[in-house]
Structure 1
Amino acid sequence: MKIATYNINGINGRLPVLLRWLEQAKPDIVCLQELKCPNEKFPLAAITAAGYNAIWHGQKSWNGVAILSKTPIQEVSRELPGEPEDTHSRYIEAIINKMVVVCLYLPNGNPYPGPKFDYKLKWFKRFIARAAKLMELELPVMLVGDYNVMPTELDVYKPERWIDNALFRQEVRDAFQQLLKQGWTDAIRKLHPHEKIYTFWDYFRNAFARDAGLRLDHFLLSPQIASRLKKAGVDKEVRGWEKTSDHAPAWIIIGK
């Protein structure tokens, strides 16, 4: 089974890119972030025609997450517990093929310091609490999406330039490590522990051509599914397509 995550950076504007990649990569499950469209504007007809079921949690102009699957999806929740007044569309949780699949878009947090960074840490704290509850279920669970975190210096092209960026602040990296200590496996790093692997390249300063990238998109797997991990990678070439997202799709393959 192939599971992918892709920050699409505007699903309607980049729908041709998404459909081309779906046809080429043929993932079984896809977690999408940054839909940037209200619920009623989600391109369900095109997604269905491509062979996928879909659930989504949209928001006008910003955020938005969705899960696509070739098999039926049972939605569990579209709210991260802990803050009823949080209106950002950043979380959706479902059951697919007897697995719990969480799609998340963790806040960027810039500029640091400031209220956006404070919100990021608070959201992360809530997510860590939810992850702990999911781990207690002792089921196959995957936490998939754009974490807006570079966990280590290997995950950023010039770490010394990012020390005070909200994506690389020590508080954020510590929060990611707190997640891992619950028992989650960082799938890409498990299979590629020493390789330079990026999932994001800025549109500016010729970043993609220079391979000045960041690893922001992650798969965290519970022990019940981590033992079935076979392969992991990034479809880097998609970042070079015309009118593409600034992220590339990342993927893992799970055995039976």
Structure 2
Amino acid sequence: MRLATWNVNSVRTRVDRVTAFLERSGVDVLAIQETKCRDDQFPHMPFEAIGYEVAHVGLNQWNGVAIVSRVGIEDVQIGFDGMPSWSAKEGVDPAPEARAIGATCGGVRTWSLYVPNGRQLGDPHLAYKLDWLAALRENAAGWLAADADAQIALTGDWNIAPEDGDV
């Protein structure tokens, strides 16, 4: 099975490029990040027209993750246990964010992850990112404890760019 991941920075803007990539690459499963659309705005039809199923979670113009697969999509899970969300305001409950979707594709538990940007040392976003990664690590350890032979692919945009020029 061929698996790829792509931060598309707006799936509606780049749907033609993404479907062209799928057609020429032979990729069976594509994990997509930064779809930047609600579920009802996701362009399912172009993917379905070339033989792919779609699982997507998006809440607004920010974030959004999807999995497109031509080897099946089963047991879709939005987010993971204990996945934190961000709130910039003290005492305000954080809004949910569309940063993780998992599904079993061709026997492989595949995750499309859009890890929060930690910005820089000392920024509150860094603590949020580290909490997010800790929750992911705890979940992954649990998945492997339940089945040591599980095939799991944690894919996506990990928001790791040591230099501004890396972006």
Pick the TM interval, shorter chain.
0.7 to 0.9
CA contact (8 A) 1:55 1:75 kept: no
Q: Where do 5+ consecutive residues of structure 2 fail to align?
A: 85-93
Distance 2:16 2:136 in 1: 32
Structure 1 residue 105 corresponds to structure 2 residue 114? yes
Relative distance call for 1:36 and 1:12 in structure 2 (3 A) is same
Q: How many residues align?
A: 156
Give the equivalent residue in structure 2 for 1:144: 155
Give the equivalent residue in structure 1 for 2:68: 68
Give the equivalent residue in structure 2 for 1:50: 50
CA contact (8 A) 2:38 2:61 kept: yes
Moved over 3 A (4+): 83-86
Residue by residue over 1:129-180, the C-alpha shift from the partner in whole angstroms, topping out at 9 and shown as x without a partner, is 1111122222111111111125xxxxx6xxxxx4xxxxxxxxxxxxxxxxxx
Give the letter aligned to residue 127 of structure 1: L
- TM-score by length of structure 2 reads 0.85
Residue by residue over 1:16-63, the C-alpha shift from the partner in whole angstroms, topping out at 9 and shown as x without a partner, is 211221121120011000000011000001110121001011121111
Give the letter aligned to residue 11 of structure 1: V
From 79, 88, 97, the equivalent of 1:88 is 97
- TM-score by length of structure 1 reads 0.57
Identity %, equivalent residues: 32
Distance 1:111 1:63 in 2: 20
Distance 1:27 1:92 in 2: 19
Q: Please show how residues 180-199 of structure 1 align to structure 2 within 5 Å.
A: none
Give the equivalent residue in structure 2 for 1:4: 4
Q: CA deviation at 1:111?
A: 4.5
Q: Please show how residues 241-256 of structure 1 align to structure 2 within 5 Å.
A: none
Structure 1 residue 23 corresponds to structure 2 residue 34? no
Distance 1:95 1:49 in 2: 21
User: What SS does the aligned partner of 1:82 have?
Assistant: coil
Structure 1 residue 132 corresponds to structure 2 residue 132? no
Give the letter aligned to residue 38 of structure 1: R
Larger Cα Rg: Structure 1 or Structure 2? 1
CA contact (8 A) 2:83 2:136 kept: no
User: What SS does the aligned partner of 2:101 have?
Assistant: strand
Give the letter aligned to residue 26 of structure 1: G
Q: Please show how residues 224-239 of structure 1 align to structure 2 within 5 Å.
A: none
Q: Where do 5+ consecutive residues of structure 1 fail to align?
A: 151-155, 157-161, 163-201, 203-211, 215-256
Q: CA deviation at 1:64?
A: 0.6
Distance 1:29 1:18 in 2: 12
User: What SS does the aligned partner of 2:9 have?
Assistant: coil
User: What SS does the aligned partner of 2:18 have?
Assistant: helix
Distance 1:148 1:10 in 2: 16
